[in-house]
């Protein structure tokens, strides 16, 4: 195994609409600029909001397929392919390092969903970095995901960049199509307060569940739980979390992103 002198960064990216894959906007321009500064990892481990199942699994196939896990979007989006190779060796390392949490090696069922490739299309547009996805176990509480994030910390010393992809605020029922790149007052409050928690006390991120706007901001846990992976890594390492991009869109979606281990 290559000896990586640099601890790899860890990121949480607010990925928003699948259309961000094809569009140029303030968020995708930011992801592209970020990608140009990132070190080249041995592999990427992505925790996507869109693989929310009743178990912990990791993709372990050599060539993961591009999953178009949505409907109602233009044909150009369904035609998009992100043909990054997989990394079965990294998948096995994830399963080993997560013990005693049981991790299933998925050798053929899943692949890369849009929570992964809509972001990587800009961060690593050449699709030349191996990618594995780690599922979110829908049967487990937030404390489980925070702890699992901490357990994954040694992977960063082995050349693996860890990415959580979701949205701190994600309420599709309350979308306001007239809002543009702005949020409702409740969305602004929750997102801003969570950002402060991430920067100041990431190990206490579960306190967000007591926030008065939590029910509106997190009606389902899938988009919020990937943030806990990065919070767990931050609590374990003691590194400062940096808020990369902050903002809301369509009233009820947060596009805020955070980073761990980035200079500057």
Can you give the pLDDT at residue 264?
54
- In angstroms, the Cα distances linking 90 to 8, 16, 93, 122, 137 are 14, 27, 5, 23, 19
Tokens read off for 13: 């990216």
The pTM for the full model equals 0.96
- In angstroms, the Cα distances linking 242 to 26, 115, 196 are 18, 21, 10
Can you give the pLDDT at residue 1?
42
Number of neighbours of residue 76 by Cβ within 10 angstroms: 10
Can you give the pLDDT at residue 63?
98
Domains of the chain: 10-260 (3.40.830.10)
Per-residue pLDDT tens listing for the chain (264 residues): 455 668 999 999 999 999 999 999 999 999 999 999 999 999 999 999 999 999 999 999 999 999 999 989 999 999 999 999 999 999 999 999 999 999 999 999 999 999 999 999 999 999 999 999 999 999 999 999 999 999 999 999 999 999 999 999 999 999 999 999 999 999 999 999 999 999 999 999 999 999 999 999 999 999 999 999 999 999 999 999 999 999 999 999 999 999 999 975
């Amino acid at each position: 195994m290559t000896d990586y002198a640099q601890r790899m960064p860890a990121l949480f990216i607010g990925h928003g609409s699948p259309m961000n894959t094809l569009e140029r906007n303030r968020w995708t321009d930011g992801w592209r600029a970020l990608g140009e500064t990132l070190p080249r990892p041995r592999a990427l481990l992505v925790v996507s909001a869109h693989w929310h199942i009743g178990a912990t699994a990791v993709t372990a196939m050599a060539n993961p397929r591009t999953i178009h896990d949505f409907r109602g979007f233009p044909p150009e989006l369904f035609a998009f392919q992100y043909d990054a190779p997989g990394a079965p060796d990294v998948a096995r390392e994830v399963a080993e390092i997560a013990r005693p949490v049981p991790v299933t090696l998925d050798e053929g069922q899943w692949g890369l969903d849009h929570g992964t490739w809509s972001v990587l299309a800009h961060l690593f547009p050449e699709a030349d970095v191996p990618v594995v996805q780690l599922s979110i176990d829908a049967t487990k509480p937030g404390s489980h995901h925070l702890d699992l994030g901490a357990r994954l910390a040694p992977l960063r010393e082995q050349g693996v960049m860890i990415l959580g992809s979701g949205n701190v605020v994600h309420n599709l029922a309350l979308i306001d199509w007239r809002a543009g790149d702005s949020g409702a007052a409740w969305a602004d409050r929750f997102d801003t307060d969570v950002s402060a928690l991430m920067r100041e006390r990431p190990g206490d991120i579960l306190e967000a569940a007591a926030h008065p706007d939590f029910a509106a901001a997190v009606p389902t846990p899938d988009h919020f739980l990937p943030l806990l992976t990065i919070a767990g890594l931050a609590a374990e390492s003691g590194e400062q979390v940096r808020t990369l991009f902050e903002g809301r869109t369509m009233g009820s979606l947060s596009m805020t992103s955070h980073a761990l281990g980035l200079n500057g």
